[in-house]
Amino acid sequence: MADDLLVDERRARLMVLDQGPGGDGQVRTRVRFTELDSQGNAVGEPRELSLEGEEVYIDALVIKFEDSFVTAGDALKGKALLLFRRIFTDRRRPADGDVLDREGQMPQSYAAERAPTAFERELWARFWELANDPEEAQRRGVRALHGEAVSTRLRKDRVYTITLRSTGELAIQAGQ
pLDDT tens digits, one per residue of 54-73: 999 999 999 999 989 988 88
Dist. CA 42–CA 141, nearest whole Å = 30
Please count the other Cβ atoms lying within 10 Å of the Cβ belonging to residue 166. Answer: 21
Residue 1 has pLDDT above 50, yes or no: no
Dist. CA 15–CA 19, nearest whole Å = 11
pTM of the model: 0.86
Task: For residue 3, name the pLDDT band (cuts at 50, 70, 90).
Answer: low
- Mean pLDDT over all residues of the chain? 87
Dist. CA 101–CA 123, nearest whole Å = 15
Residue 136 has pLDDT above 90, yes or no: yes
| Residue 50 contacts residue 87 (beta carbons within 8 Å) | no
Dist. CA 86–CA 94, nearest whole Å = 8
Task: For residue 4, name the pLDDT band (cuts at 50, 70, 90).
Answer: low
